[in-house]
Amino acid sequence: MQQDDQESPATPLRIGGWVPPASPGRPAAQAPGARPVTPLPEPRSGTGGRPTGSRAAARTARRRVALRWSGRRSAAVTIIALAATGVLVASISRIGSPATSAQLPALPLPWSPTPVPASAAAVALPPGSPTRPPDPTPSRSLARPEGSVTSFVPAARPSASRSSPAPPAAAEPAPATPFRASYEAESQRNVLGGQTRPLPRDDASAGLVVRFVGNGPDNFLRFVGVTVPEPGTYNVRVQYISGEPRPAMVLINGRAVMSLVYPASPDWYTVAAVTLRLPLDAGPNTIEFRNDTAWAPDFDRIDLTR
């Protein structure tokens, strides 16, 4: 009984190859033939007592969640932008139709002195967005992306030198060919009517003058064969001698063209001259001097120029 009462060493419970650890006051018993059991190391804790592996896993999870929300946010923004664009295009299409444009009131533009017609009603844009004049053609789109800036430059008016050809230069008349001719009063080709006859005078061009012209219709001097190259007005210089002013009439080809008083020459022996502007035809002409009521000067010669 004493042996039963004596405490015998307890045999440790063996579960497979694992033996429960010994209590603090008693060492663990090793079963014969069993492998030694190495205790598992306790996990190291970081700041605040949280395991280091759990922190890395939590950080990775948060990053994945942030990336997932970022992708969802981008997709949502894209969907909203597409929806807004569709609404804007639909509004513009309704504005471009005749029925809608007729219902919209005409809005005056701040930069135009005249009101905008109803067919070109302006589109209300959000505050702060740039504005532009409406397009008067309904078929063209009035939409402009928000935030875009359109600059308007006035079209340069074409210069006159580019838009219209220069007028052709007027043809300048060809310079007149110099012309000069002289005819003596006492020439045998001329007609001396009535009492007229040549008499000598030292101051005359050929030493002779024709006297006694006038004082009746029969006494006249007619130059014959006065030829010019073309019709026109010519300068006719008449050389004469007259001690007093005397009148005389001028006839061209039998037509009276002028009547004038010839100024007095220094005396009855000195030649004086006057220049007349007479119309002549191309070819030969006649120039006649006469005075039917009084005496005319004594005539020396005529010089034609142009």
Confidence of residue 71 (pLDDT cuts 50, 70, 90): confident
Does position 90 have pLDDT exceeding 90, yes or no? no
Residue 274 confidence (pLDDT): 97
- Residue appearing with tokens 């002028």: 258
Let me know: does 296 contact 192? Beta carbons within 8 Å: no
Most confident option among 43-52, 66-75, 93-102 = 66-75
Confidence of residue 196 (pLDDT cuts 50, 70, 90): very high
**pLDDT mean over 250-278:** 96
Residue 2 confidence (pLDDT): 47
Neighbours of 118 (CB within 10 A): 13
Q: How far is CA 212 from CA 91, 103, 216, 266, 274, in A?
A: 112, 107, 10, 19, 19
Does position 10 have pLDDT exceeding 60, yes or no? no
Does position 102 have pLDDT exceeding 50, yes or no? no
Q: Which of 237, 234, 289 minimizes the C-alpha distance to 260?
A: 289
Residue 265 confidence (pLDDT): 96
Residue 227 confidence (pLDDT): 96
Higher pLDDT, 129 or 89: 89
Distance, C-alpha 117 to centroid of its chain = 29
pLDDT > 90 in the chain, percent: 42
> What are the tens digits of pLDDT across the range 221-250?
999 999 999 999 999 999 999 999 999 999
Confidence of residue 167 (pLDDT cuts 50, 70, 90): low
Higher pLDDT, 85 or 272: 272
Does position 149 have pLDDT exceeding 50, yes or no? no
Rounded CA separation 98/117 (Å): 13
Residue 135 confidence (pLDDT): 52
Distance, C-alpha 140 to centroid of its chain = 26
